[in-house]
Amino acid sequence: MTRLSLQNVSKSLGNALVLKKINLEVHPGELMVIIGPSGCGKSTLLNVIAGLEDTDEGHIFFNEQPVEHLAPKARDVAMVFQNYALYPHKTVFGNLAFGLKMRGFTKPEIQERVAAVARQLNIHQLLLRKPRHLSGGECQRVAMGRALVRRPNIYLLDEPLSNLDALLRSQIRTEIKKLHAVLKTTMIFVTHDQIEAMTLADRIAVMNQGRIVQVGTPDEIYERPKTDFVAAFMGNPAMNLFTGQKDAQGRLHLHGNTLQVNASPGGKDQTIRVGFRPEKVRLGIDTGLRFKGRVTVLEPTGADVFAIIDCGGEDVRCRVPRGCLTVGQQVGVSVQTKDLHIFNAQSGHRVDGVKRP
Amino acid sequence: MTMIKKRYSRLRGAIFYCGLVLITGILSLPALVAISTSFKPYSEIFTTNPTILPQHFTLASYQKLLAIPEFPVYLLNSLIVAAFSAAIAIAVGVLAAYALVFFRFPGRRVIRQALLTTYMFPAITLVFPVFFGASRLNLLDTYTILILTNLSFALPIAIWLLLGFFEKIPVELERAARVDGCNRLQTVFHVILPVMLPSIMAIGVFTFILGWGEYLFALTLTLTDAHRTASPGMHALMGNYRIDYGLLTAAGTVIVFPLVLLFALFQKHIVEGMTSASHHRL
Amino acid sequence: MVCETKRSWGAILAPYGFLAPAVIIVFGVLIYPLVYAVYFSLTDKTMLVSAYHFVGLGNYIELMGDSKFWQAFRHSIVFALVTGGLNLFLGFGMALVLNRRFRFRGVFHTVLLLPWVIPPIVTGLIFRWLYNDFYGYLNCLLLGVHLIEKPILFLVDAHYLWPSVIIANVWVEYPFVMLMFMAGLQSIDPDLYRAAKADGAGSMQLFFHVTLPGLQRVFFVNVLLQIIFMFKTFNLVWILTQGGPGGRIELLSTLAFHYAFEGTQTGYGSAVASIIFYVLLILSCIYVVITTRKIKER
Ligand SMILES: Nc1ncnc2c1ncn2[C@@H]1O[C@H](COP(=O)(O)OP(=O)(O)OP(=O)(O)O)[C@@H](O)[C@H]1O
Ligand SMILES: [Mg+2]
């Protein structure tokens, strides 16, 4: 079990500063999910941890030992790449065995480990095939297998499920979770799929534009997003976010509503962003933030219906039980004050402490 | 309506095909004439109304060629020089191309451009200093100097083509190897080489073809039959057997035959290499 | 700590280590001789006497008044433009033809590419035989159909010398151009053609609005490469004519060879050879600058 810590890690590629002073602590045996939009530097971060890219600045520690100067081999991490990167000239067995062979394991040891992992991942019948004769899902398992045969310090998984269909994805997700429970090895899992992040993670690190914006348990991230970016990025359908005003008395003015909230005491007049999750929207005019409008879109998503209500030029997204709305209908909706998230419009940071009734 | 259209397009196809055959025929005529001359008896070669194909097929010219003891030596010399220069160009070129594609380091662009620009250097400018350098170092009329001078074009071309191939390797593949515990050199041997083997062999074949028939350096740097390669050897034959075109075309055919064979075998990969090389930037 | 620093030094130097053999060879067989050639061009070195003196720009100044040099310079330019132009024309045409789909395409492809692998000395032999005054096919054919009365001396006669040499050169050089253009044609996204066809474009419009714009870069690269290659060409011209009677097709390269090896004036010949290098250097710089700029634009 390895503790990983990154301190002020920066990295530029070409002219772009891709990682900007990253600080991250991953506890021993933890499954940390890194999530962020495409191009935010997730793969680069993994490469830096693995030693495939040098850092420009900052330090990386495995169990308090600095590793910046160590080659990938010496860091002893295993990695699953976004596009599998199986060795096309080797059989599945050869792919799985290669890492062990390069580390000087004996033939019988290699045989034994490969066989065990192959059974575990249900690829033992494929061992003699070349990667080009494998399906996408099989390739994916082999790529996982190549990491699992090793007992590395850390597993680094770079969007390993992104090329799979939905069913296979959820199956393998469950398998990874089970594997992690058994192995208890520190694991970093990169994704831009929030369901994956929510279901797998012990903790989630949200990245944006080369920075880590928030680290926390899935619940923390979902319930108390630190910035409006995290709020908007996590959750599907996305959170409603509106621009409003807060006056010196801590009152919120939004869309004709005036609410008492106790955000950032002692403030003066201030533009803020107000967010609330679609599933917190309640039908009917009630207490709290109130909207009136016309239903413009209805999308059934199984048990629920996702609706967009046009409230005088601003769309309110909400999630309601099936069958209680029709398109074109005039409705009133409301959100309780406790369900509001309030952010500073300039910095995007959470302005804390919405008054609980 | 469609009938007419169909017939029209078929007609066009036929005309296209006839034109193509005609052009190809004209373009391969020079070579064809030479090959056929090598199989003709004396009387058919030196006639004022020659035929394209030999009337009486004979190997007389080849028998005469066999009787010239230097000729096989020329071929052997060409083989030695071309094989060694191709092998060195590949070995050195693979390392260089690997570094240029998979390492990130200061000066990469400059070195890459400099290496790629060298293949435009004129051989004629190099030949005088090389001649004097070789004579100073007692390297005139040796395999060594011929192999070295062949590298002056084989290496830049090999690097040029290798870059085109290596840039098609997904970076993740190379990275997977390093995570699996390879150092850089092991990565080259365990992953890059095996994955790119057919392409690398094609590049080897291509540089071999160029080395086999290299003319200017071989002409100026060899003095005796012992080290003459096919080109200066042929040059000597053309002096000694001035007008014996049966013998000369037979010699030419023998010199070209292995190249045609190699090219036909590796054509797909050579063409593919040129294709990717022609796209990549300097 | 010491150990760490060491390892990072290794990592820093590794790429240079991989490049070292190539750089050393390129330096030894290209850069160093080239610098020496330029140095020779500043001396009065001859083939026979080992002592020589630095004469500064003397050779170059002398060249400025050398009518043979100016003639060769003109010849080289004309040769490069005409041969390069024909290579481009034939290469592009054949690439268009071969880019279509038809039966036995692979066979035609191979056959048409073959001249490319024929060594220059053999090409020289082939064309010497073809152009032979008494028994060559060309003369026999022309005589046979009574187009001419007496045989043409293709490699001597002032009217036929240039075309004969250029045809031989084009025959071996155009396949390379063809190959490059085929590569260019194949890299054009077929969806562009589909989209244009869906918009109702005819085959002419397809050619002018999809094919030609798609080949812009390849065209440019090929034009410059052809000028570069043809400007420095030596082998075939030398083998066929050695510069021709009275220097009728004397190029800079053959002139340099004449001066340096046959006339033993190494210094003076080196000056001519160096001038070829200077011209190519300028062309190469243009090539590098423009190709890299093209990349940045994308
Ligand atoms: N060699 C390079 N030179 C310059 N910029 C690069 C280079 N490689 C990557 N980048 C840039 O670095 C940024 C981060 O890339 P990275 O691959 O880490 O993103 P990512 O978060 O993994 O994205 P994705 O989810 O699409 O995989 C991107 O904006 C990319 O354009
Ligand atoms: Mg990525």
The answer to whether position C46 is within a domain reads: no
**pLDDT mean across residues, chain B:** 90
Evaluate whether C52 touches C276 at the Cβ level (below 8 Å): no
Q: Is the predicted pLDDT of residue B280 greater than 60, yes or no?
A: no
The answer to whether position C24 is within a domain reads: no
φ/ψ region of B5 (left if φ > 0, alpha if ψ in -120 to 50, else beta) reads: alpha
Number of residues that make up chain A: 357
Looking at residue A113, its pLDDT comes to: 94
CB distance B179–A89 less than 8 Å? no
Evaluate whether B86 touches B204 at the Cβ level (below 8 Å): yes
User: C160: which 2 tokens?
Assistant: 């036929």
Q: Which ligand is nearest to the CA of A17?
A: 1
Evaluate whether B48 touches C142 at the Cβ level (below 8 Å): no
φ/ψ region of C295 (left if φ > 0, alpha if ψ in -120 to 50, else beta) reads: alpha
Strand A257-260 with A65-66, pairing: unpaired
Instruction: Give the total number of structural domains in chain C.
Output: 1
Please tell me whether the peptide bond between A237 and the residue prior to it is cis, using omega within 30 degrees of 0: yes
Quote the pTM value: 0.89
Cα-based distances in Å from B275 to A93, A277, B16:
34, 54, 26
Query: Residue B91 in 3-state DSSP?
Result: helix
Instruction: Give the structural domain span for C84.
Output: 67-297
CA distance C270 to chain B (A): 7
Looking at residue B93, its pLDDT comes to: 96
Give the residue among B17, B216, B21, B267 at the shortest CA–CA distance from C114. B267
Most confident of the ranges A95-99, B9-13, B53-57, C178-182: A95-99
Report the range of poorest mean pLDDT among A20-29, A252-261, B124-133, B231-240.
Answer: A252-261
Query: Residue A11 in 3-state DSSP?
Result: strand
Among all chains, which residue has been given the structure tokens 């990167």?
Answer: A85
Nearest-atom number in ligand 1 for the CA of A42 is 21
Q: How far apart are CA B74 and CA B252, in angstroms?
A: 12
CB pairs under 8 A between B and C: 258
The answer to whether position C15 is within a domain reads: no
Evaluate whether C7 touches A69 at the Cβ level (below 8 Å): yes
Backbone angles phi, psi at B76, to 5 degrees: -60, -45
The answer to whether position C47 is within a domain reads: no
Looking at residue A357, its pLDDT comes to: 36
**How open is the CA angle A134-A138-A139, to the nearest 5 degrees?**
75
Residue among A53, A73, A99 whose CB faces B183 most closely: A73
Residue among B123, B127, B252 whose CB faces C122 most closely: B252
Residue nearest atom 9 in ligand 1 by C-alpha distance: A13
Looking at residue A189, its pLDDT comes to: 95
Higher pLDDT, A357 or B94: B94
DSSP labels, C134-166: TT-HHHHHHHHTTS-SS---TTTSHHHHHHHHH
Residues in chain A where the model's pLDDT stays below 50: 354-357
Looking at residue C219, its pLDDT comes to: 87
Evaluate whether A334 touches A290 at the Cβ level (below 8 Å): yes
Chain C residues whose beta carbon lies within 8 Å of the beta carbon of residue B88: 25
Looking at residue A30, its pLDDT comes to: 94
The answer to whether position C248 is within a domain reads: yes
Residue B87 contacts C where some CB pair is shorter than 8 Å: no
The answer to whether position C216 is within a domain reads: yes
φ/ψ region of B248 (left if φ > 0, alpha if ψ in -120 to 50, else beta) reads: alpha
pLDDT tens-digit profile, chain C (298 residues): 333 433 467 778 899 999 999 999 999 999 999 999 999 999 988 877 778 888 888 899 999 999 999 999 999 999 999 999 999 999 999 999 988 888 888 889 889 999 999 999 999 999 999 998 888 888 888 888 888 888 888 888 888 999 999 999 999 999 999 988 988 888 888 888 888 888 888 888 888 888 888 888 888 888 988 999 999 999 999 999 998 888 899 999 999 999 988 777 888 999 999 999 999 999 888 877 877 765 554 4
Evaluate whether C226 touches B206 at the Cβ level (below 8 Å): no
The answer to whether position C17 is within a domain reads: no
To test the ligand 1 pocket, which listed residue (A20, A38, A42, A211) has its Cβ within 8 A of the most ligand atoms? A42
Tell me the CATH number at C127.
1.10.3720.10
- Centroid of ligand 2 to alpha carbon of A82 (angstroms): 7
Evaluate whether B234 touches B252 at the Cβ level (below 8 Å): yes
Evaluate whether A333 touches A283 at the Cβ level (below 8 Å): yes
What is the average pLDDT across B253-271? 90
Give the residue among A281, A265, A266 at the shortest CA–CA distance from A354. A265
Looking at residue C262, its pLDDT comes to: 79
The answer to whether position C105 is within a domain reads: yes
> Which 8-state DSSP code applies to residue A238?
P
Looking at residue B7, its pLDDT comes to: 75
Dihedral of alpha carbons B221, B227, B231, B232, sign: positive
